[in-house]
Structure 1
Amino acid sequence: MSDVLRTGRLALHPVSMSDHSALLAHWTGPKVRRHLFEGVALSPTQVTEVIASSQRDFATEGYGLWGLRDAGTALDHALPDGDLIGVAGLRGHGADVEIVYSLQPDRWGQGLAAEAGRAVLEYAFEVLRLRRVTAEIDAGLADVLGMRPHGDGHYAAERSAWFGSRHTVDV
């Protein structure tokens, strides 16, 4: 099983320590930070911890965080290439697996969050066979991904309903 995911426009590779500088810059940018980590800028040590946690999760759970890059700059399926434009992935354990994502602000409004989200949900449901994935995301993106309200401000996609609908993402 490969942990590399590809879409029409994106290549998703598990984050590694070689992504540290790019992740630090991405997650500490003021526009991105406003939506993540309760608005607090992560320290370099915290970024190291997030990457290490993702690597442990890939080893034990089969999922973690993927770095997003333009598919055209990531020609080798095994190795990431090109600039990091965001992150998408799964975190949590058991019945509490959540989809997460962030994009560089200059990439907002292009449908890339939906494209990455669909790839992650397909992986969650087809490869990992998870029953449900939750999210705290924008209502419009939740709808595009086939996620339904699940508590206050949260959404969920159930495996059986998601497969039945086979949501497509317009790009």
Structure 2
Amino acid sequence: MSEVLRTVRLDLHPVSMRDHGALLTHWTGPLVRRHLFDDRVVTPVQVSEIIEASERDFATEGYGLWALRPVPASPGGGAAAPGGPLAGVAGLSHHEGPLGHGVDVEILYSLEPDHWGRGLAAEASRAVLDYAFGVVGVHRITAEIDTANPASSQIALQLGMRRWREGPAGPDGAAYYAAERSRWIGSRRVPDVVP
């Protein structure tokens, strides 16, 4: 099973220590960390721990975090070799379920601000969900989204995720969305994953 994924516009490669510097820069950016890390600045040690946890998850669960890079166009019009600048991250992680409801598999995504508004988060997330449901066989994937982040709520809805639970009210509130394997596999979505 190959964990390398490709969509029409993105190459997705499992994060590794080669990505450490780019991930640190990405995750410490104020617009990115605002909703992903509750506005806390992650340290280089924390980035290493996240990468190591992702590598363990790929080895044991079949999924983890992918680094997103734009598919460069070659001079002949086709796709060139990957390796461009980091556009963001998408993937899956274990997460303590809302309100003590056990452990969930949660989808995560973040993009560099200059890539916002172009549908790349939804495109990458669809590839991750296709892989998780179709290859790994995960039964349910959840998303915890800050109520102050309507763009991420819109992405969850575009993915066909349904509002699942309400979180605590207030400025730090969250909404929970879920996608079920049986519904995902049975849907008639137009794929943007490249074979």
Question: What TM-score, normalized by structure 1, do the two folds share?
Answer: 0.92
The structure with more strand, counted as a fraction of residues: 2
Q: Is the 8 A contact 1:115 1:169 kept in 2?
A: no
* Cα separation, 2, equivalents of 1:127 and 1:22: 28
The answer as to whether partners of 2:134 and 2:185 remain within 8 angstroms in 1 is no
Please report how far the alpha carbon of residue 72 of structure 1 lies from its aligned counterpart in structure 2 after TM superposition. 1.7
Q: Who is 1:21 aligned against?
A: 21
Q: Provide the secondary structure at the position in 2 that maps to 1:92.
A: strand
Kindly indicate whether residue 135 of structure 2 is the aligned counterpart of residue 127 of structure 1: yes
Write the distance in 2 (CA, Å) between the matches of 1:84 and 1:112: 13
Which of residues 108, 133, 139 in structure 1 aligns to 2:153? 139
Q: What stretches of structure 2 of length at least 5 have no aligned partner?
A: 74-78, 96-101, 146-151, 167-174
Match of 1:148 in 2: 162
Q: Residue deviations 1:83-140, cap 9 Å, x none?
A: 1110000001796101000000010000000000100000011001111110124221
After the TM superposition, which of the residue ranges 92-101 and 145-154 deviates more from structure 2? 92-101
1:88 to 71, 87, 90: 90
Q: Deviations over 1:51-84 (max 9, x none)?
A: 01101111111110000000127844xxx51111
In the aligned structure 2, how far is the partner of 1:75 from the partner of 1:16?
21
Q: Is the 8 A contact 1:64 1:89 kept in 2?
A: yes
Equivalent pair of 1:145/1:167 in contact (CA under 8 Å): no
Q: Distance in 1 between matches of 2:39 and 2:23?
A: 15
Q: Say if 2:194 is the partner of 1:167.
A: no
Aligned equivalents of 2:127 and 2:113: distance in 1? 20
Matched length: 167
Which segment is superposed worse, 66-75 or 133-142?
A: 66-75
Deviation at 1:162, TM superposition (A): 1.4
- Partner letter of residue 110 of structure 2? S
Tell me the residue number matched to 2:148. none
Q: Does 1:55 align with 2:77?
A: no
Q: Which moved more, 1:31-40 or 1:90-99?
A: 90-99
Query: Residue 165 of structure 1 aligns to which amino acid in structure 2?
Result: S
CA RMSD of aligned residues (A): 1.8
Of residues 16-25 and 92-101 in structure 1, the stretch that sits farther from structure 2 once superposed is 92-101
Q: CA deviation at 1:168?
A: 3.5
Output the CA distance in 2 between the equivalents of 1:62 and 1:75. Answer: 27
